[in-house]
């Protein structure tokens, strides 16, 4: 019969055939991506399954297109030849995939193999028609072969070599490529069909139909099987994509954690490990087999421990073991944490929590814990509470670094008096506690005397000498205190008693001290409201020019008459005010009150005379002192030329430049400066020359035994001469006898002050007062 024309095709089957070619093209792009992006067994699996699915897809398109011909006579297909055509299609796709995966240089060979497989499938499949004789047009057959190879090359380029194969291809672009590839695959088939002429072979008699396929049944089998295969292909691709995305996300999550995560088999061989694991046991570029072997050795050391810590090359690792019994295989997951930083942080936190940051001595929290244990372990305990002064002043004048240095040097000196077994603690800002145990308790007194002697030597801080005094309190367990907290409290109370008794005192606790402490606490509480309750007042002690016997000045002295406790000595409440920080308000109040009363004195017609005010070292060292002084002078209309500020000699410590500068700034206001308690501190001639001082005020202690002790006379005489040599006026305080007056006059002392002339009086009592 004649060659069949295009008009003899079944349109619906033609559309189905193209749709199958379109789906096959679309699938080939994803299959190529899967084959290219996998390795090992997974690649081989995708290679074989992908080639099979693509080969069957192209074969299905071919046979559906052949079935689109409406033959005028019944035809059948030889099943074996059909099967062979399927094998040819699959073999061509498999050969093409394998060749291109072997190297880009085999691109042409890959296209030839795939194209040959498609052509072979087409013409072998046509040869399966029975009973038909086919004649081919060689030229058109050649064109169909070229089309097949061209489409194969295009498909391989798109899937493996194009820029789009290196990244995820957008859906629109993928559909476009699939559209044109589908046209190419269909074109090859229909061009190949155009090369054939079909004639009925009447000589063929069909006796055995067991090897033949009925077309009516075959077309639906092909369509159903094809769509099932493509459904499975796309489902597999989709599922694989989700699975790979989950695995990739899991990998990202595991690699983003700082913890090493490893899975091992029943023989402790490493199956998987994240990036952190390899960094913990080597580097990213290290030999993984070596790292695995090192980890296996670590596992052998750990044994069955669920959680353990190991130190590797100064790094501390926490290893956690989690069996995976739910798996088909006996696998184990290991989580490894580098806890070196945590260990260091814990150490730092422990240091901060239980040790003093300046001295690195155990602090009061450790003291509390140790006392709990020592109560049951030791028969006797001596608790020594040591507090030192001058820290606040050192911080104010020399800076906190100097204060810290002073504390460290103190701790060093205390340690020098102790032996192994004695316990030293830094209790709070300016106090230490020593615990002496058992037999050492008998040596307590000698230890403390040695300690006082060591502390009496000046400390060198920032190139200068600082003298401090210490106050020591002592309590004993169990004779005085029945438990640790009482032991500390009693020692503290004994220390406070030492402080009230003077410098470098040692006091052992007794129950009379408890009464004194209760009084001190009452004083601290009463000081809070003393100014508001108007409990303070000032008295004034005259200063006399010894040559002229004239009243030339007066010193303002603070008095406190508390409504419940009565009169309280300045020697008792001033140290408390300094320790509690209330001295600043009290000092300002004294200046305001004294300047105001002086102004009233002048307004009453009295001759202006010099007004001296004691300034606490702590108050003078504050940055706010000078601005406050200026403000108070201006507000009270006080003439600064009649103001004299008395600065204790010991408060000037090593005459640090900041202090000297502040003294000069004070002098610029017109104010006079006197050096109080001269002789009790550690001033040198060189230092005195640097200070802008107007008056040396010699401490009253140098008058004791003056008339009977030639050495005392010599010392006092030299001090008066020293003041005159420096062009300073000299004032002697504490003068109580006429003999003292005559001796001082003979030694050319300038001014005197004391009970011989007058006790401190209210200013109103001095309006008409004159010396003897």
- Note the pLDDT tens digit of each residue in 60-112: 777 777 776 666 666 667 778 888 888 888 888 888 878 877 888 888 888 88
Is the model more confident about 513 or about 591? 591
Answer yes or no: is 515 within a domain: no
Longest dimension (CA), the chain: 170
Quickly tell me which residue has 């001095």 as its tokens: 766
Is the model more confident about 330 or about 223? 330
Domain of residue 220 covers: 6-243
Lowest mean pLDDT among 117-121, 211-215, 533-537: 211-215
The answer to whether residues 127 and 154 belong to one domain is: yes
| Average pLDDT of the residues in 23-46 | 70
The answer to whether residues 456 and 535 belong to one domain is: no
Is the model's pLDDT at 214 over the cut of 60? no
Average pLDDT over the chain reads 81
**Tokens in use for 439?**
């037999």
Answer yes or no: is 378 within a domain: yes
Last residue of a domain, one of 190, 210, 243: 243
Answer yes or no: is 285 within a domain: yes
Query: pLDDT tens, 379-391?
Result: 889 999 999 887 7
Q: State the Cα–Cα distance between residues 118 and 87, nearest whole angstrom.
A: 10
* 447 DSSP assignment: H
Q: State the Cα–Cα distance between residues 413 and 756, nearest whole angstrom.
A: 45
The answer to whether residues 473 and 590 belong to one domain is: no
The answer to whether residues 552 and 649 belong to one domain is: yes
Predicted pLDDT of residue 669 = 93
The answer to whether residues 61 and 145 belong to one domain is: yes
Query: pLDDT tens, 636-680?
Result: 989 999 999 998 865 444 456 777 888 899 999 999 999 887 876
Quickly tell me which residue has 């957008």 as its tokens: 170
Answer yes or no: is 772 within a domain: no
The answer to whether residues 638 and 680 belong to one domain is: yes
Q: Indicate which CATH number applies to the domain containing 313.
A: 3.30.450.20
Q: State the Cα–Cα distance between residues 196 and 256, nearest whole angstrom.
A: 63
The phi, psi pair for 336, rounded to 5°, reads -115, 125
Residue pair 317/339 in contact by the 8 Å Cβ criterion: yes
Is the model more confident about 209 or about 618? 618
The answer to whether residues 360 and 339 belong to one domain is: no
Last residue of a domain, one of 275, 310, 344: 344
Interhelix angle 484-501/511-529, rounded to 10 degrees, is: 70
Last residue of a domain, one of 286, 311, 344: 344
| Average pLDDT of the residues in 507-514 | 87
Cα–Cα nearest to 468, from 407, 520, 396: 407
The percent of residues above 90 in pLDDT, for the chain, comes to: 29
The answer to whether residues 713 and 609 belong to one domain is: yes
pLDDT confidence band for 351 (50 / 70 / 90): confident
Answer yes or no: is 514 within a domain: no
The phi, psi pair for 377, rounded to 5°, reads -95, -30
Query: pLDDT tens, 566-594?
Result: 999 998 899 889 888 899 999 999 999 99
Residue pair 18/182 in contact by the 8 Å Cβ criterion: yes
Is the model more confident about 483 or about 377? 483
The answer to whether residues 332 and 465 belong to one domain is: no
Answer yes or no: is 250 within a domain: no
Q: For residue 301, count CB atoms less than 10 angstroms from its CB and return exposed for 0-12, middle for 13-18, buried for 19 or more.
A: exposed
Q: Indicate which CATH number applies to the domain containing 471.
A: 3.30.70.270
How many residues make up the chain in this entry? 772
Quickly tell me which residue has 């008056």 as its tokens: 695
Is the model's pLDDT at 600 over the cut of 50? yes
Instruction: Please count the structural domains in the chain.
Output: 4
The answer to whether residues 594 and 720 belong to one domain is: yes
Q: State the Cα–Cα distance between residues 85 and 123, nearest whole angstrom.
A: 8
| Average pLDDT of the residues in 244-263 | 67
Is the model's pLDDT at 449 over the cut of 80? yes
Q: Between the CA of residue 251 and those of 248, 261, 281, 584, what are the distances in Å?
A: 5, 11, 19, 66
The answer to whether residues 388 and 303 belong to one domain is: no
Is the model more confident about 476 or about 246? 476
Lateral strand order in the sheet of 129-130? 129-130, 76-78, 212-214
Alpha-helical runs (H) found in 272-339: 275-281, 288-302
Query: pLDDT tens, 183-195?
Result: 777 777 778 777 7
Predicted pLDDT of residue 654 = 46
- The three-state DSSP-derived secondary structure of 552-583 is EEEEEEEEEEECCCEEECHHHHHHHHHHHCCH
Is the model's pLDDT at 444 over the cut of 80? yes
Is the model's pLDDT at 212 over the cut of 70? no
Predicted pLDDT of residue 2 = 44
Predicted pLDDT of residue 1 = 39
Q: State the Cα–Cα distance between residues 395 and 393, nearest whole angstrom.
A: 5
Answer yes or no: is 252 within a domain: no
Q: State the Cα–Cα distance between residues 419 and 147, nearest whole angstrom.
A: 102
Answer yes or no: is 577 within a domain: yes
The answer to whether residues 469 and 565 belong to one domain is: no
CA dihedral angle for residue 449, residue 452, residue 453, residue 457, rounded to 10 degrees: 180
Cα–Cα nearest to 129, from 200, 223, 182: 200
Cβ neighbour number for residue 762 with a 10 Å cutoff? 13
Transcribe 229-271 into DSSP letters. HHHHHHHHHHHHHHHHHHHHHHHHHHHHSSSEEEEE-TT--EE
């Amino acid at each position: 019969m004649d060659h069949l024309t295009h008009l003899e095709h079944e349109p619906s089957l033609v559309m189905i055939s193209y749709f199958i070619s379109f789906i096959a093209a679309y699938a080939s792009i994803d299959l190529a991506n899967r084959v290219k992006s996998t390795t090992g067994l997974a690649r081989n699996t995708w290679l074989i399954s992908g080639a099979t699915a693509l080969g069957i897809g192209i074969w299905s398109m071919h046979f559906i297109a052949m079935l689109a011909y409406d033959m005028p006579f019944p035809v059948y297909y030889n099943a074996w030849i059909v099967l062979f055509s399927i094998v040819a299609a699959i073999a061509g796709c498999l050969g093409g995939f394998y060749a291109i995966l072997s190297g880009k240089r085999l691109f042409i060979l890959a296209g030839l193999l795939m194209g040959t497989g498609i052509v072979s499938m087409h013409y072998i499949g046509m040869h399966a028609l029975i009973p038909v004789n086919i004649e081919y047009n060689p030229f058109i057959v050649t064109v169909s072969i070229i089309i097949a190879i061209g489409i194969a090359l295009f498909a391989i380029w798109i899937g493996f070599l194009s820029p789009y194969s290196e990244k995820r291809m957008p859906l629109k672009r993928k559909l476009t490529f699939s559209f044109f590839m589908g046209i190419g695959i269909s074109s090859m088939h229909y061009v190949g069909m155009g090369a054939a002429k079909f004639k009925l072979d009447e000589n063929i008699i069909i006796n055995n139909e067991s090897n033949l396929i009925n077309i009516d049944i075959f077309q639906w089998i092909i369509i159903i099987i094809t769509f099932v295969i493509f459904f499975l292909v796309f489902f597999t691709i989709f599922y694989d994509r989700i699975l790979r995305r989950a695995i990739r996300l899991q990998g990202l999550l595991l690699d983003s954690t700082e913890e090493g995560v490893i899975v091992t088999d029943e023989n402790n061989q490493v199956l998987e490990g994240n990036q952190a694991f390899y960094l913990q046991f080597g580097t990213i570029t290290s030999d993984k087999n070596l790292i695995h072997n090192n980890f296996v050795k670590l596992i052998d050391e750990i044994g069955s421990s669920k959680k353990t810590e190991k130190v590797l090359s100064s790094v501390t690792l926490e290893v956690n073991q989690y069996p995976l019994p739910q798996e088909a295989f006996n696998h184990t997951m290991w989580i490894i944490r580098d806890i070196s930083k945590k260990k260091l942080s814990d150490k730092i936190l422990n240091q901060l929590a239980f040790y003093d940051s300046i001295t690195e001595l155990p602090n009061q929290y450790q003291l509390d814990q140790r006392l709990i244990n020592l109560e049951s372990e030791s028969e006797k305990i001596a608790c020594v509470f040591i507090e030192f002064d001058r820290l606040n002043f050192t911080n104010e004048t020399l800076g906190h670094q100097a204060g810290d240095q002073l504390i460290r040097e103190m701790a060093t000196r205390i340690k020098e008096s102790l032996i192994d077994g004695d316990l030293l603690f830094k209790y709070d800002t300016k106090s230490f506690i020593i615990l002496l145990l058992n037999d050492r308790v008998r040596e307590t007194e000698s230890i403390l005397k040695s300690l006082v002697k060591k502390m009496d030597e000046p400390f060198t801080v920032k190139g200068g000498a600082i003298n401090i005094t210490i106050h020591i309190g002592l309590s004993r367990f169990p004779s005085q205190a029945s438990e640790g907290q009482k032991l500390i409290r009693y020692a503290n109370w004994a220390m406070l008693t030492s402080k009230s008794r003077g410098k470098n005192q040692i006091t052992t606790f007794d129950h009379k001290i408890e009464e004194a402490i209760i009084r001190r606490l009452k004083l601290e509480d009463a000081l809070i409201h003393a100014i508001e309750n108007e409990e303070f007042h000032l008295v004034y002690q005259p200063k006399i020019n010894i040559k002229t016997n004239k009243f030339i000045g007066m010193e303002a002295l603070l008095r406190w008459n508390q409504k419940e406790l009565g009169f309280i000595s300045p020697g008792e409440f001033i140290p408390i005010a300094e320790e509690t920080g209330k001295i600043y308000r009290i000092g300002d109040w004294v200046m305001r009150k004294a300047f105001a009363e002086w102004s009233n004195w002048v307004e009453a017609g009295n001759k202006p005379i010099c007004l001296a005010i004691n300034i606490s070292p702590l108050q003078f060292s504050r940055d706010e002192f000078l601005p406050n002084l200026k403000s108070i002078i201006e507000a009270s209309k006080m003439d600064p030329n009649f103001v004299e500020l008395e600065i204790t000699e010991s408060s000037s410590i090593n005459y640090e430049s900041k202090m000297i500068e502040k003294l000069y700034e004070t002098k610029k206001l017109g104010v006079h400066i006197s050096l109080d308690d001269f002789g009790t501190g550690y001033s040198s001639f060189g230092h005195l020359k640097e200070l802008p001082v107007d008056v040396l005020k010699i401490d009253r202690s140098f008058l004791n035994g003056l008339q009977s002790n030639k050495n005392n006379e010599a010392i006092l005489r030299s001090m008066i001469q020293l003041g005159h040599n420096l062009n300073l006026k000299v004032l002697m305080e504490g003068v109580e006898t006429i003999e003292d007056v005559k001796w001082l006059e003979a030694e050319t002392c300038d001014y005197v002050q004391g009970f011989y002339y007058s006790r401190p009086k209210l200013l109103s009592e001095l309006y008409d007062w004159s010396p003897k």
